[in-house]
Chains A and B, each alone.
Chain A
Amino acid sequence: MLDSLILRASARYVLWACVALSVFVLLRGHNEPGGGFIGGLIGALGFVFHALARGPPATRRVLRLDPLAWGGIGLLLAAGSGLPALLLHAEPLLTHQWMEGLPIGTAIPFDIGVYLVVLGFALAFVLPFLGEDAA
């Protein structure tokens, strides 16, 4: 862990800025390039920065759940978003509009799921390399 006051002080703000940007990218993805995958990576970058500055245990406290668990929840969400189309072969379930005029549809839970999978599995992979036991 780098022992720098500036780094430690800014870590929290960088983290939340990254998360905010990642959520923006996640939601923007429906009409323009972006989406769950790249959003998840941006979010993971924020957490990795935080872990570099303050140590993985502090980052795990921010995450609350184990990163792998977040990935699992995301995978459940993404898998679940496909189930309605399997149960009822209805066209609105396949498009990005469940209701007239609102850009909310199957793609949203799927993308949020992908976001969590990428975020969770990337952090589950990276955090152990950042000196888990050091702090």
Chain B
Amino acid sequence: MIASRADWLLALPVLVPLIACALSAALRGRARAQRLVTGSAAAVMLLAAGALVAEVVRRGVIATQMGDWAAPFGITLVADLFSSAMVAITALIYAVTAVQAHADPGVRAEEGLWHPLLAALVLGVAGAFLAGDLFNLYVWFEVMLIASFGLLVLGGGRAQLDAAVKYAVLNLVATTVFLIAVGLAYGLTGTLNLADMARRMPEVPNQGAAAAVAFLLLAAFGAKAAVFPLFFWLPASYHTAAAPVAAIFAGLLTKVGVYAMIRAVTLVFPAGQDWMAPLLWAVAAGTMVVGALGAAAHWDIRRILSFLIISQIGYMIVGLAIATPLAIAGAVLSIVHHIIVKANLFLVAGAIRRAGGSFSLAQMGGLWRRDPWLGILFAVPALSHAGLPPLSGFWAKFLVVKAGFEAGWYVLAGVALATGILTLYSMLRIWIEAFWKEPPEGAAIVALAGRERWLVLGPVAALALVTLGIGLWAEPFAAFALAAGEQLAGRDAYIAAVLGARP
């Protein structure tokens, strides 16, 4: 029997970065060939991910068993609307970071390692989105983690090593907690396949132990997602990485944690435990507020942006806490929007650093007069991030807050709205300091010009267009998010796709 279309569509998002990683490692020392590998891998992955989304929209949830080992025992790859959208965005971020990295001196100095590590990171992220099995999810997290250690120290200054140690320690602790939870879940249900586990978890006699598994999983994924109170590693490390690295970290890594949280809660623990809703409530509110306040207190653009990542993660957790289909749709749209916008803001921060000579707001100014295009390209993701209509962030926030009011979670919805204002404050501060203020004495004045300008601003513009597209043409995206929310809340399609129509 020849492999079917679904087999290929599910395997390609994992195979392409795997082969790109292998090839670019084998071609170390030949920078031109490595760039060709990364470029074509990103292009192929974008096409494959687009085809995957189309297939899932047409046919609903699709699943494949690697090597034909049947479902609860073999390795399962599954894609529903949510995970296929995540794969597509991963491919998009892969492509834009690969382009912008050409212009980054820090990355170019270490190009031999950058290409394989970037591909390995994308491999881990795409694998985590498609994994239909808890242990495989763990393995993909590890792949992602190992690659991210390498990327974080790329270029290797003292500050970067310091950041990498903090990042590594907290992430290893989270991974260990995850592994313990995997072991407990296997002991309780006798299966690691997520769909199979979803059927068996309610029948487990010891529901106290099931609650412990749920809590450990939430803690592990929460630490990866940098939610309150487990977020400390993120602002301690992200601001040291090279600009393209920071962009891909900020865009993708925490979102894999949120994805895993949403997947685990909606699929395996849908009825929830009675402690889960209040816990998620507190986590969501704390994450939003702490992130926004932290951002307001800093002067380094990248530290501000790092704290804002945390605050945005809060919105996604709000969606998960409310857990109506509409709220989950809001969380899905928030993740999609946030990956694009956040990666974009970090890419712009890199460009501002080039043009203004610093990451510190105090030491730059007058950028608007020198480079209005840079200002416009910053304004689009910044305003979208703060949730102003008609940009993508508005719709994401709108869905979450609407779901909150409908479900009677008024306080949480209020906190979400207030956080939006604080976010806007931080964005305006960057705007006023970097773009409007007169440049301080001795500020470096560098013009971005020629090929470099295109390489730096091209990806930024592409992502800004996507943000504008989602904002102005919101109908299909909102419909997609709502369908994804329905699919996540009603988990039968997922279970049936993985396990077949067995009773």
Q: Which of A79, A88, A120 contacts B1 (CB 8 A)?
A: A88
Q: Which residues of the partner chain A approach B19 to less than 8 Å between Cβ atoms? A: 76, 79
Q: Which residues of the partner chain A approach B219 to less than 8 Å between Cβ atoms? A: none
Query: A86-B3, A88-B2, A89-B1 are known contacts. Are A76 and B15 too (CB-CB below 8 A)?
Result: no
A71 and B112 alpha carbons, distance in the complex (Å): 13
> Once the chains bind, are A76 and B68 in contact (CB under 8 Å)?
no
Q: Which of B18, B29, B68, B116 contacts A85 (CB 8 A)?
A: B68
> Once the chains bind, are A88 and B22 in contact (CB under 8 Å)?
no
19 residue pairs A–B, Cβ–Cβ below 8 Å: A68-B25, A68-B28, A68-B112, A69-B25, A69-B29, A72-B23, A74-B22, A75-B22, A76-B19, A76-B22, A76-B23, A79-B19, A79-B22, A85-B66, A85-B67, A86-B8, A88-B3, A94-B67, A120-B25
Binary contact track A46-79/B, C-beta < 8 Å → 1, others 0:
0000000000000000000010110111111001
Is B191 located at the chain interface by the 8 A CB criterion? Answer: no
For A125, give the chain B residue with the smallest CB separation: B150
Q: How near does chain A come to B56, taking the closest CB pair, in angstroms?
A: 19
Q: Which residues of the partner chain A approach B468 to less than 8 Å between Cβ atoms? A: none
Q: Which residues of the partner chain B approach A82 to less than 8 Å between Cβ atoms? A: 66-67
> Once the chains bind, are B3 and A87 in contact (CB under 8 Å)?
yes
> Once the chains bind, are A72 and B28 in contact (CB under 8 Å)?
yes
The 7 closest A-B pairs by CB, nearest first: A72-B25, A72-B26, A75-B22, A76-B22, A89-B1, A68-B28, A85-B67
For B113, give the chain A residue with the smallest CB separation: A68
A74 and B116 alpha carbons, distance in the complex (Å): 13
Q: Which residues of the partner chain A approach B445 to less than 8 Å between Cβ atoms? A: none
Q: Which residues of the partner chain B approach A89 to less than 8 Å between Cβ atoms? A: 1-3, 68
A73 and B21 alpha carbons, distance in the complex (Å): 10
> Once the chains bind, are A75 and B21 in contact (CB under 8 Å)?
yes
> Once the chains bind, are A72 and B116 in contact (CB under 8 Å)?
yes
Mark B residues whose CB is within 8 Å of A: 1-3, 7-8, 11, 15, 18-19, 21-29, 66-69, 112-113, 116
Q: How near does chain A come to B40, taking the closest CB pair, in angstroms?
A: 15
> Once the chains bind, are A68 and B18 in contact (CB under 8 Å)?
no
For B2, give the chain A residue with the smallest CB separation: A88
Q: How near does chain A come to B140, taking the closest CB pair, in angstroms?
A: 15
> Once the chains bind, are A68 and B3 in contact (CB under 8 Å)?
no
A79 and B66 alpha carbons, distance in the complex (Å): 13
> Once the chains bind, are A69 and B3 in contact (CB under 8 Å)?
no
A55 and B67 alpha carbons, distance in the complex (Å): 44
Inter-chain pairs besides A79-B22, A90-B1, 7 sampled, C-beta below 8 Å: A68-B116, A69-B29, A72-B116, A73-B26, A76-B23, A79-B15, A86-B7
A93 and B25 alpha carbons, distance in the complex (Å): 27
A39 and B26 alpha carbons, distance in the complex (Å): 21
Q: Which residues of the partner chain A approach B67 to less than 8 Å between Cβ atoms? A: 82, 85-86, 93-94
Binary contact track A80-120/B, C-beta < 8 Å → 1, others 0:
00100111111101100000000000000000000000001
> Once the chains bind, are A69 and B11 in contact (CB under 8 Å)?
no
A93 and B27 alpha carbons, distance in the complex (Å): 29
> Once the chains bind, are A76 and B26 in contact (CB under 8 Å)?
yes
A33 and B53 alpha carbons, distance in the complex (Å): 42
Q: How near does chain B come to A107, taking the closest CB pair, in angstroms?
A: 12
Q: How near does chain A come to B115, taking the closest CB pair, in angstroms?
A: 10
Q: Which residues of the partner chain A approach B29 to less than 8 Å between Cβ atoms? A: 66, 69
Q: How near does chain B come to A132, taking the closest CB pair, in angstroms?
A: 14
Q: How near does chain B come to A90, taking the closest CB pair, in angstroms?
A: 8
> Once the chains bind, are B1 and A66 in contact (CB under 8 Å)?
no
Q: Which residues of the partner chain A approach B116 to less than 8 Å between Cβ atoms? A: 68, 72
Q: Which residues of the partner chain A approach B24 to less than 8 Å between Cβ atoms? A: 72
Q: How near does chain A come to B45, taking the closest CB pair, in angstroms?
A: 15
> Once the chains bind, are B11 and A86 in contact (CB under 8 Å)?
yes
Q: Which of B2, B22, B113 contacts A73 (CB 8 A)?
A: B22
A109 and B67 alpha carbons, distance in the complex (Å): 16
Q: Which residues of the partner chain B approach A76 to less than 8 Å between Cβ atoms? A: 19, 22-23, 26
Q: Which residues of the partner chain A approach B22 to less than 8 Å between Cβ atoms? A: 72-76, 79
Q: Which residues of the partner chain A approach B21 to less than 8 Å between Cβ atoms? A: 72, 75
For A88, give the chain B residue with the smallest CB separation: B2
> Once the chains bind, are B3 and A71 in contact (CB under 8 Å)?
no
Q: How near does chain A come to B500, taking the closest CB pair, in angstroms?
A: 16
> Once the chains bind, are A72 and B2 in contact (CB under 8 Å)?
no
A94 and B69 alpha carbons, distance in the complex (Å): 9
> Once the chains bind, are A69 and B2 in contact (CB under 8 Å)?
no
A94 and B21 alpha carbons, distance in the complex (Å): 24
A69 and B113 alpha carbons, distance in the complex (Å): 11
Q: Which residues of the partner chain A approach B69 to less than 8 Å between Cβ atoms? A: 94
Q: How near does chain B come to A36, taking the closest CB pair, in angstroms?
A: 15
A93 and B2 alpha carbons, distance in the complex (Å): 13
For A67, give the chain B residue with the smallest CB separation: B28
Q: Which residues of the partner chain B approach A71 to less than 8 Å between Cβ atoms? A: 25
Q: Which residues of the partner chain A approach B2 to less than 8 Å between Cβ atoms? A: 87-89
Q: Which of A75, A88, A94 contacts B25 (CB 8 A)?
A: A75
A120 and B26 alpha carbons, distance in the complex (Å): 10
Could you say which of B3, B7, B11, B113 has the most chain A C-beta atoms within 10 Å of its C-beta?
A: B3
For B68, give the chain A residue with the smallest CB separation: A89
> Once the chains bind, are A79 and B18 in contact (CB under 8 Å)?
yes
A120 and B28 alpha carbons, distance in the complex (Å): 12
Q: How near does chain A come to B483, taking the closest CB pair, in angstroms?
A: 29
Q: Which residues of the partner chain B approach A69 to less than 8 Å between Cβ atoms? A: 25-29
A86 and B6 alpha carbons, distance in the complex (Å): 11
For B1, give the chain A residue with the smallest CB separation: A89
A93 and B24 alpha carbons, distance in the complex (Å): 28
Q: Which residues of the partner chain A approach B26 to less than 8 Å between Cβ atoms? A: 69, 72-73, 76
For A90, give the chain B residue with the smallest CB separation: B1
For B29, give the chain A residue with the smallest CB separation: A66
